[in-house]
Amino acid sequence: MVATLLHFVPAQMWLITPEFILRLLAEGLLIGLIYSLMALGLTLIFSVLGIVSFSHGEFYMIGGYVVYLFLQKFQNSLPRALTGIGALLAAMLVTFAIGVVFERLFLQPMARGEVDRPNEYAILTTFGLAFFLQYLMLGLMGPFPKKARRFFDLPVFDAGLIQATKASLKIGNITLGAGRLIAGLIALLALLAMLYFMFKTWTGRALQATSQDRQAAAVVGINPMNMNTLAFGLGAMLAGLAGAVLVSVYSWVPWVGVIASSKSFVIIVLGGMGSIPGSLLGGLIIGVVESLGTGLFPDPVRAQAYRDVFGLVIFALVLLVKPTGLFGRKL
Amino acid sequence: MTTQTAQTEYALEVRDLYVGYYKDLNILQGVNMKARRGQLTAILGANGVGKSTLLKAIFGFLKPNAGDVFLNGQRINDVPTYQRITLGLAYIPQRMSIFRWMSVEDNILLGGWTFRHDKERLQRKLEENFERFPILREKRRQPAGELSGGQQRMVELARTLMTDPQVLLVDEPTAGLAKLLKREVYDMLTELRDREGKTIILVDQEIRHALRIADYVYILDLGRNKTEGPTAEIVADLKKAFWI
Q: Which of B81, B100, B160 sits opposite A218 (nearest CB)?
A: B81
pLDDT for B241: 54
Residue B141: count other Cβ atoms within 10 Å of its Cβ: 9
Query: Does B8 contact A at CB distance below 8 Å?
Result: no
pLDDT for A16: 77
Asked whether residue A297 is domain-assigned, the answer is: yes
Residue A311 confidence (pLDDT) above 70: yes
Residue A7's pLDDT band, with cuts at 50, 70 and 90, is low
Asked whether residue A282 is domain-assigned, the answer is: yes
% pLDDT > 90, chain B: 72
**Chain A to chain B Cβ contacts (< 8 Å):** 62
Flag if A221 and B83 touch (Cβ within 8 Å).
yes
Residue B1's pLDDT band, with cuts at 50, 70 and 90, is very low
CA A57 – CA A38 distance, rounded (Å): 9
Asked whether residue A2 is domain-assigned, the answer is: no
Flag if B113 and A206 touch (Cβ within 8 Å).
yes
Give the tens place of pLDDT for each residue, A131-187. Answer: 999 999 999 999 999 999 888 888 899 888 889 888 899 988 888 999 999 999 999
Kindly list the distances between the CA atom of residue B201 and the CA atoms of A93, B91, B170, B215, in Å, as whole numbers in the listed order: 47, 10, 6, 10
CA A67 – CA A141 distance, rounded (Å): 13
Distance of CA B66 to the CA centre of its chain: 22
pLDDT for A172: 85
pLDDT for B5: 42
Give the tens place of pLDDT for each residue, A52-102. Answer: 999 999 999 999 999 999 999 998 888 888 899 999 999 999 999 999 999
Average pLDDT over residues B100-108: 95
Residue B2 confidence (pLDDT) above 50: no
- What CA dihedral angle connects A168, A169, A172 and A174, to 10 degrees? -60
% pLDDT > 70, chain A: 95
User: CB within 8 A of A147, min separation 6: which ones?
Assistant: A68, A247, A248, A250, A251, A252
Residue A11 confidence (pLDDT) above 80: no
More confident residue, B186 or A240: A240
Q: Give all domains of chain B, ordered by start, each with its CATH number.
A: 1-85+196-244 (3.40.50.300)
ipTM of the complex: 0.88
% pLDDT > 70, chain B: 94
Q: Which of A205, A220, A223 sits opposite B159 (nearest CB)?
A: A220
Give the tens place of pLDDT for each residue, A214-258. Answer: 999 999 999 999 999 999 999 999 999 999 999 999 999 999 999
Give A222's contacts in chain B (Cβ within 8 Å).
82, 110, 113
What is the C-alpha end-to-end distance of chain B, expressed in Å? 40
Shortest distance between the Cα of B97 and any Cα of chain A, in A, equals 6
Give B144's contacts in chain A (Cβ within 8 Å).
none
Minimum mean pLDDT range among A17-31, A316-330, B22-36: A316-330
Residue B196 confidence (pLDDT) above 70: yes
Asked whether residue A331 is domain-assigned, the answer is: no
Asked whether residue A1 is domain-assigned, the answer is: no
Average pLDDT, chain B: 90
Residue B239 confidence (pLDDT) above 60: no
Query: Does B110 contact A at CB distance below 8 Å?
Result: yes
3-state SS string over chain A? CHHHHHHCCCCCHHHCCHHHHHHHHHHHHHHHHHHHHHHHHHHHHHHHHCCCCCCHHHHHHHHHHHHHHHHHHHCCCCCHHHHHHHHHHHHHHHHHHHHHHHHHHHHHHHHCCCCCCHHHHHHHHHHHHHHHHHHHHHHHHCCCCECCCCCCCCCCEEECCEEECCCEEEECCEEEEHHHHHHHHHHHHHHHHHHHHHHHCHHHHHHHHHHHCHHHHHHCCCCHHHHHHHHHHHHHHHHHHHHHHHCCCCCECCCCHHHHHHHHHHHHHHHCCCCHHHHHHHHHHHHHHHHHHHHHCCCHHHHHHHHHHHHHHHHHHHHHHCCCCCCCCCC
Flag if B86 and A220 touch (Cβ within 8 Å).
no
Asked whether residue A109 is domain-assigned, the answer is: yes
Residue B4's pLDDT band, with cuts at 50, 70 and 90, is very low
Average pLDDT over residues B56-84: 95
Residue B56 confidence (pLDDT) above 90: yes
* DSSP one-letter code for B206: -
Flag if A220 and B80 touch (Cβ within 8 Å).
no
- For residue B31, report the phi and psi dihedrals to the nearest 5 degrees: -80, 140
Question: Is A38 within 8 Å of A60 (Cβ atoms)?
Answer: yes
Nearest to A288 by CA among A261, A270, A262: A270
Residue A40, domain extent: 7-321
Give the tens place of pLDDT for each residue, B8-45. Answer: 689 999 999 999 988 778 999 999 999 999 999 999 99
% pLDDT > 90, chain A: 66
Asked whether residue A328 is domain-assigned, the answer is: no
Give the tens place of pLDDT for each residue, B80-98. Answer: 999 999 999 999 998 889 9
Asked whether residue A148 is domain-assigned, the answer is: yes
Average pLDDT, chain A: 91
B 163-192 → A contacts, CB under 8 A: 163
pLDDT for B174: 87
Q: Which of A202, A209, A329 sits opposite B116 (nearest CB)?
A: A202
Give B113's contacts in chain A (Cβ within 8 Å).
202, 206, 220-222
Assign residue A35 the CATH number of its domain.
Answer: 1.10.3470
pLDDT for B129: 93
Residue A196: count other Cβ atoms within 10 Å of its Cβ: 11
Flag if B90 and A215 touch (Cβ within 8 Å).
no
* DSSP one-letter code for B230: E
More confident residue, A9 or A123: A123
Residue A161: count other Cβ atoms within 10 Å of its Cβ: 8
pLDDT for B238: 56
Q: Which of A202, A213, A221 sits opposite B97 (nearest CB)?
A: A213
Domain count, chain A: 1
Give the tens place of pLDDT for each residue, B150-180. Answer: 889 899 999 999 999 999 999 998 887 777 7
